[in-house]
Amino acid sequence: MKVATICFPIQGDTIFLANKKRSFGAGHLNGWGGKVDGDESIAATASRELFEESTIETDPADMELVAIIDFFEETNHIFECHVFFVRQWQGTLQETEEMGIPEQFPLDSVPYERMWKSDHLWMPLICEGKKIRAKAIYKKGMAEVERFECYNLYI
| Alpha helical stretches, state H, 55-128 | 119-127
User: How many CB atoms neighbour CB 106 within 10 A?
Assistant: 11
Q: Which pLDDT tens digit goes with each residue over 45-59? A: 999 999 999 999 999
The hierarchical CATH code for the domain 2-153 is: 3.90.79.10
125 and 152 in contact (C-beta within 8 Å)? no
Domain ranges of the chain: 2-153
Answer whether 44's CB lies under 8 Å from 57's CB.
no
pLDDT confidence of 37, banded at 50, 70, 90?
Answer: confident
**Nearby residues of 84 by Cβ (< 8 Å), 6 or more positions away:** 5, 6, 7, 8, 43, 46, 63, 64, 65, 66
Which tens digit of pLDDT belongs to each residue from 75-134?
999 999 999 999 999 999 999 999 999 999 999 999 999 999 999 999 999 999 999 999
Q: Within 10 Å of residue 81's Cβ, how many Cβ atoms?
A: 20
Mean pLDDT rounded to a whole number for the chain: 94
